[in-house]
């Protein structure tokens, strides 16, 4: 069932069931209608107790309701039909539409339509606009309804940036000034809400880097992730074009460009191995509610976060020894504080810990061995492909305008080989295990334990290298390993 049909069904139900009090569609729902965008959620204000209304409506819809915002007394019903989900957010009308509008965030979200008018062919003709929101929509301007909106609800600081980039609107100068003055208030916001807005920004098809730059320009970014500030004006080796902080930000942009094949010279894109399956992998595979594309973009922003902590100068040469490992640890702390899921924490920290590996698995001019590739895919678990494409973005963001064609051809040929050979090892039957743990225990007279797993991995490395191709050879090699371990 298309979502617009679902809207209409719910609207007809509300209109015919509730006639004793005023109900208006409002907020982002009306804004998106006016812009010709299909709304994601239905926002309602009601001139009655919103919890009682949500409770009764949820029963009629055979759905559940819950408190969305306890401070502002907002409730949500999640209604699902034929695999289409509609969130219905319900709040109480504050005295009048004029007063209610002043409690909202931005003028473009202070638009109202009587619920029954949504059933008309052109419902936007019935928009009630107390704060010139339609004018600001036409001007593509994001303007705060008053000077206290960020103090009243600090998450609006991030929402301003998200809406600005998502809608391609300009934040007006006075609102920018308000954001900068109130920027430290973001530190008082619930981390769960920060997490949601940050991942909404990372979930843009395109434009996350621009939003990150705007967060920085409005003094918000370092209040969110203060560890990033240490990279500002922190020089890198001469091979790098940007300082540490800008390099992290640029890596996000280059990753977006690679995945969408945009904004990069053709000779750069032409060398990168790509297929439709990879696009699906990044854009449609889900990790705890977000695409891999979104998750890897956050890893891009954080990937070199430990460089300032690990910087040394040896013989006039700048080094960042162990920054990948330290970066994984620092990022883990940041993500846990922002209430990221265990899967996201593990994934991002794994990518950061391994982000240098594709460029370090062989000497210059040589391709990595099958064994080295196998070890990389094994240790990076199910984030090897994510790491490979972050590594390419990292390289581009390191060199920037300094990048030369032949060096790029040489580097990408190595990384492409890692991807192609690594995925082949996972899919080709000739790389299947010759022996399993049960067989190994039976042949060697061992009980279950870590040594079984270690022997199996060593055997598999030899299978990958083509040195072992038969079961009997695998068992013989297992005996050699066991003898070695026993005599240590």
Are the C-beta atoms of residues 41 and 89 closer than 8 Å to each other? yes
Among candidates 282, 70, 37, 221, which has minimal Cα distance to 137?
37
pLDDT confidence of 184, banded at 50, 70, 90? very high
Q: Which two tokens stand for residue 104?
A: 């909202």
pLDDT over 90 at 365, yes or no: no
Q: Which of helix, strand or coil describes residue 433?
A: coil
d(CA 208, CA 72): 29
**Angle value at C-alpha 144, between 142 and 146, nearest 5 degrees:** 160
pLDDT over 90 at 483, yes or no: no
d(CA 92, CA 48): 6
Helix (H) or strand (E) holding 223: helix 221-224
pLDDT over 70 at 2, yes or no: no
Q: Which two tokens stand for residue 203?
A: 């979930």
How much of the chain exceeds pLDDT 90, in percent?
Answer: 71
List b or e across 414-438, with b for residues whose CB sees 16 or more CB atoms inside 10 angstroms.
Answer: bbbbbbebbbebeeeeebeebbeee
- Give me the residues paired with residue 420 across strands: none
pLDDT at 1: 44
d(CA 226, CA 224): 6
pLDDT confidence of 3, banded at 50, 70, 90? low
Cα four-point dihedral sign 87, 92, 94, 98: positive
pLDDT over 80 at 437, yes or no: yes
- Averaged pLDDT, 202-219: 97
d(CA 372, CA 357): 10
pLDDT at 193: 93
The 10s digit of each residue's pLDDT in 144-173 is 999 999 999 999 999 999 999 999 999 999
pLDDT at 478: 83
- Averaged pLDDT, 106-121: 94
- Averaged pLDDT, 388-411: 97
Residue 213 CA from chain centroid, whole number? 16
pTM above the 0.95 mark? no
DSSP characters over 45-112: EESS-HHHHHHHHHHHTT-EEEEEETTTTEEEEEEEETTEEEEEEEEE--SSHHHHHTTSSBGGG--E
- Averaged pLDDT, 88-98: 92
Give the range among 206-215, 335-344, 357-366 with minimum mean pLDDT.
Answer: 357-366
pLDDT confidence of 70, banded at 50, 70, 90? confident
The 10s digit of each residue's pLDDT in 227-280 is 999 999 998 998 999 999 999 999 999 999 999 999 999 999 999 999 999 999
Owner of token pair 């019935």? 126
- Averaged pLDDT, 349-353: 98
pLDDT over 90 at 200, yes or no: yes
Ramachandran region, residue 225 (left: φ > 0; alpha: ψ -120 to 50; beta: rest):
beta
Q: Which two tokens stand for residue 419?
A: 């991807």
Q: Which two tokens stand for residue 36?
A: 């010709």
pLDDT over 90 at 430, yes or no: no
d(CA 322, CA 332): 16
Among candidates 41, 42, 55, 54, which has minimal Cα distance to 11?
42
Are the C-beta atoms of residues 392 and 359 closer than 8 Å to each other? no
- Averaged pLDDT, 406-413: 96
């Amino acid at each position: 069932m298309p979502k617009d049909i679902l809207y209409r069904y719910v609207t007809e139900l509300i209109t015919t069931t509730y006639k004793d009090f005023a109900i208006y569609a409002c907020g982002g729902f009306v804004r998106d209608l006016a812009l010709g965008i299909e709304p994601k959620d239905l926002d309602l204000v009601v001139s009655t107790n919103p919890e009682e209304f949500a409770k009764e409506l949820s029963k009629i819809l055979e759905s559940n309701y819950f408190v969305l915002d306890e401070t502002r007394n907002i409730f949500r019903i999640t209604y699902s039909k034929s695999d289409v989900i509609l969130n219905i957010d319900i709040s109480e009308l504050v005295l009048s539409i004029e007063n209610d509008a002043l409690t909202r965030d931005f003028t473009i979200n202070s638009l109202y339509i009587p619920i029954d008018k949504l059933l008309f062919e052109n419902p936007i003709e019935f928009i009630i606009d107390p704060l010139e929101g339609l004018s600001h929509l036409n001007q593509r301007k994001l303007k705060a309804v008053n000077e206290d909106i960020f103090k009243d609800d600090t998450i609006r600081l991030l929402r301003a940036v998200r809406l600005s980039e998502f809608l391609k609107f300009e934040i007006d100068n006075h609102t920018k000034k308000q954001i900068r003055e109130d920027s430290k208030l973001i530190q008082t916001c619930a981390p769960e809400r920060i997490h949601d807005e940050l991942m909404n920004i990372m979930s843009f098809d395109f434009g996350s880097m621009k939003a990150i730059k705007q967060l920085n320009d409005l003094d918000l970014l370092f209040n969110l992730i203060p560890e990033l500030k240490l990279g500002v004006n922190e020089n890198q080796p001469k091979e790098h074009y940007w300082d540490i902080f800008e390099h992290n930000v640029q890596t996000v942009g280059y990753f977006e460009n690679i995945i969408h094949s945009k904004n990069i010279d053709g000779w750069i894109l032409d060398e990168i191995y790509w297929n439709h399956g990879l696009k699906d992998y990044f854009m449609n595979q889900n990790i705890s509610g977000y695409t891999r594309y979104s998750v890897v973009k956050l890893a891009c922003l954080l990937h070199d976060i430990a460089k300032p902590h690990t910087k040394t100068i040896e013989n006039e040469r700048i080094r960042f020894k162990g920054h990948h490992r330290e970066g994984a640890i620092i990022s883990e702390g940041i993500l846990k504080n922002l209430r990221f899921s265990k899967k996201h924490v593990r994934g991002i920290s794994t990518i950061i810990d391994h982000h240098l590996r594709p460029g370090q698995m062989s000497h210059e001019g040589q391709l990595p061995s099958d064994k080295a590739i196998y070890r990389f895919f094994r240790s990076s678990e199910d984030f090897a492909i994510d790491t490979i494409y972050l590594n390419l973005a990292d390289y581009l963001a390191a060199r920037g305008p300094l990048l030369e064609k032949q060096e790029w051809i040489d580097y990408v040929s190595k990384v492409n080989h890692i991807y192609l050979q690594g995925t082949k090892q996972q899919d080709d039957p000739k790389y299947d295990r010759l022996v399993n743990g049960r067989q190994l225990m039976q042949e060697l007279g061992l009980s279950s334990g870590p040594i079984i797993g270690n022997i199996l991995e060593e055997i598999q490395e030899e299978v990958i290298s083509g040195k072992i191709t038969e079961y009997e050879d695998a068992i013989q090699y297992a005996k050699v390993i066991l003898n070695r371990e026993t005599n240590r």
